[in-house]
Amino acid sequence: MSSVDHPYRTRIRSFTRRGGRMPPRHQVAYDALAPTYVIDVPRDGGSTTVDPAYSLDVADVFGRQAPLIVEVGPGSGDALIAGAKALPDTDFLALEVWQPGIGQCLSRLVEDPLPNLRFVEADAEVALATMLPAGSVAEVWTYFPDPWPKRRQQHRRIVRPEFADTVCRVLAPGGMWRLATDIEGYAAHMRALLDHHDSLEFVSTDRAPLRPVTRFERRGVAVGRDIADLNYRRRA
């Protein structure tokens, strides 16, 4: 199959590339720290698509063997940075398409480096499907994924059957998928899909231990929305 007709080329994207410009402080941090923290992956045409033939050698990247947590769409990185600080013996890989978000995260690492954290600036759906070995991830975090609230856009929500299969592929047996959303219909959709997934076992609606209150959570609470936390375990 040529790269032109590769299925990843015609997939439905869960994101639009928004506002490319960063505040100067974030740009300075991005320019200084991206060579250390942002893994330079080969691309398959589109700038957000990791070449599906590429495998990431995680132990080589971090220089050790350690449990790995992957965050899908960390945005400005509140949960990611809190997690990486709290668990220095765990490695964190953040998959984010929004470069200004990565810039903002990096601006927080200028004074406070985190050797157990790396970013891949790419579409997580493709990166997770191809870049990491099966069963290699201890946890996947998907907090406040883009809600795509309009009915005609809902097919773009990242939590859909193919993505659930992708997450299950990378999770180790017993590994956890932790999700949160403030959109009632999205939470119901997650439950309807994931409760019946053959490879997942529903665990709880408890708030994830390391999940801090983020801008998205505050915004949802301010307009009277309930926050749904969902925790699933990868079956052995």
Ligand X SMILES: C[S@@+](CC[C@H](N)C(=O)[O-])C[C@H]1O[C@@H](n2cnc3c(N)ncnc32)[C@H](O)[C@@H]1O
Closest CA to 89 of 66, 70, 57: 66
Residue 124 interacts with ligand X (CB under 6 A): yes or no: yes
Residue 119 interacts with ligand X (CB under 6 A): yes or no: no
User: Given candidates 29, 105, 132, 145, which one binds ligand X under the rule CB under 6 A?
Assistant: 145
Q: Which is nearer to ligand X, 21 or 64 (CB)?
A: 21
Q: Give the active site residue among 44, 51, 91, 146.
A: 146
Residue 175 interacts with ligand X (CB under 6 A): yes or no: no
Residue 186 interacts with ligand X (CB under 6 A): yes or no: no
User: Is 146 an annotated catalytic residue?
Assistant: yes
Residue 92 interacts with ligand X (CB under 6 A): yes or no: no
Residue 22 interacts with ligand X (CB under 6 A): yes or no: no
Count of residues interacting with ligand X (CB under 6 A): 23
How many whole angstroms separate alpha carbon 76 and alpha carbon 144? 12
CB of 64 to ligand X, least distance (A): 25
CB of 56 to ligand X, least distance (A): 15
Neighbouring residues of 38: CB distance < 8 A, sequence distance ≥ 6: 102, 106, 118, 119, 120, 121
Residue 58 interacts with ligand X (CB under 6 A): yes or no: no
CB of 143 to ligand X, least distance (A): 4
CB of 216 to ligand X, least distance (A): 5
Annotated binding site: 71, 96, 123, 146, 150, 182, 214-217
Would you please indicate which residues are annotated as catalytic (active-site) residues?
146
The residues of the shown chain that bind ligand X, judged by CB under 6 A, are 14-15, 72-75, 78, 95-98, 101, 123-125, 143-146, 158, 214-216
